[in-house]
Every structure is written in C-alpha cells, then in structure tokens.
Structure 1
C-alpha cells in the first residue's frame, strides 16, 4: 500500500539528502573514508535525482516518479548493505543501515503519481 504523497516524499528527499551529506560529521565517522563516502554519494544522488524528478518539488522534471522510486529502492539497498560490501562494518554500520531502510521504505511506500 502506497500511502506517502509525492509532495511529502519530495520534502523527505531534500531533508534526507542533506542529512546523508552531513551524517559523517554528525555521527562521527568522517575519519573513515569508505564509511564517509557512501552517504556523501547517496546524498548527492538523492538531491540530484530529486531536482530532476517530475513531482511537485522537482526543478527540471525529467525523471518519471516510478523511476525515481526505483532509484530510492536501489539506493536504500546499497546504503543498508554498504558496511559489509565495502568492509567498514566493524567500524560503523548503524547510520548506513537506518538510512538505507528509510530510503527503501520511502521508495516502496510512496504513491507513483504526483498531484498536478
């Protein structure tokens, strides 16, 4: 059941993208290169895809909402698995898993059609 409106998803996109970018410093793992670069890349990707998505808060509106949601699901899965994929799970893993679960949930629970 998809119950998150696309406008709310857009707000979550920009807030979470900023949080992903700030997280290495907020949560104290900026000195761990792999752990740091994963959320930086995810935050940049989230903000970029949001700017280009065809929904209420998109600026350029070239990416269809279903494609954006697919990107969110893929990003969430990668974020959640990244501590083990990139070998930093013994140093830090919880922020990546939480952010990944959030992105997965947002991608799976958001409506596919924006209100125009």
Structure 2
C-alpha cells in the first residue's frame, strides 16, 4: 500500500500527539493508576516533541533528523506504548489512552510519505556502509 499522509500534515499532528502524551496522566486521570501509567506517556511524549522539532519535514524549525528514522522510531514507540498497559500490568485500571495513541503513532509511522516501511528506495541510491571490498 502506498503512503498517503503528507509529511507536512504529519509534522503538525506530531506536535499535537506529543503534547497530548505529555498531558495524558492528567487528561485521563492516570495519576492514581501506577507509576508506569504516568511516566511512559510522558517520556514518549517528550521524545516525540524533541524529534518533531528536529525532524526533516515542513513543520519543523530545525531540519536535522531524517524522516525515515523518525517514522521508524514512531512505529517502535507506538507499539511499545500500545502494549505497555499489559507489560506493566495496569490494563485492568486503564488502557484506552495508551492503546489509542500508541496505535495512532504506529499507523502514522507506517503510512506517512518517506516511511521506510512503504516507500521503496531508488535502485541507483547507494546504501552506504561497508562492502566486501571496503573491509579488505
């Protein structure tokens, strides 16, 4: 399937998701659930905010971080956030905020343009790294 979310729209949405994640414990009243329910969304929210500021997209003021890496980390963080209520055993008290926001991050990481999961690299581009001749 082709990626259909533009990087500009994704960039704006990423700021909203990051700030929502930072405020999740208070927005959804998770402060009495567990320390994992409080700190995991906050940590991932701050990481998302930092990556959003430095990502190479239209909504970023400092374009230093490659979009491909940002989207790959979104898939990893989205998956971790979505399964964290069951990993840290607070799913009986609250799991919807982490599951929904984690699923959204996972979805955006896959279906945004420049995603390494849905965009094929051009065959003429070098992959970099060592080749068998370089290692001799």
Instruction: Tell me whether the two structures share a fold, i.e. TM-score over 0.5.
Output: yes
Q: CA RMSD in A?
A: 1.2
The residue number in structure 1 matching 2:28 is: 27
The residue number in structure 1 matching 2:123 is: none
The residue number in structure 1 matching 2:95 is: 93
Q: Distance in 2 between matches of 1:82 and 1:111?
A: 27
Of the two structures, which has the highest relative contact order with CA contacts closer than 8 Å and spacing of 6 or more? 1
The residue number in structure 1 matching 2:38 is: 36
Higher helix share: 1
Q: Distance in 2 between matches of 1:59 and 1:75?
A: 23
Unaligned runs of 5+ in 1: none
SS of the aligned residue for 1:56 comes to coil
TM-score by length of 2: 0.79
TM-score by length of 1: 0.92
Name the larger-Rg structure: 2
**Matched residues, number:** 113
For residues 2-17 of structure 1, what are the structure 2 equivalents within 5 Å?
A: 2-17=3-18
The residue number in structure 2 matching 1:52 is: 54
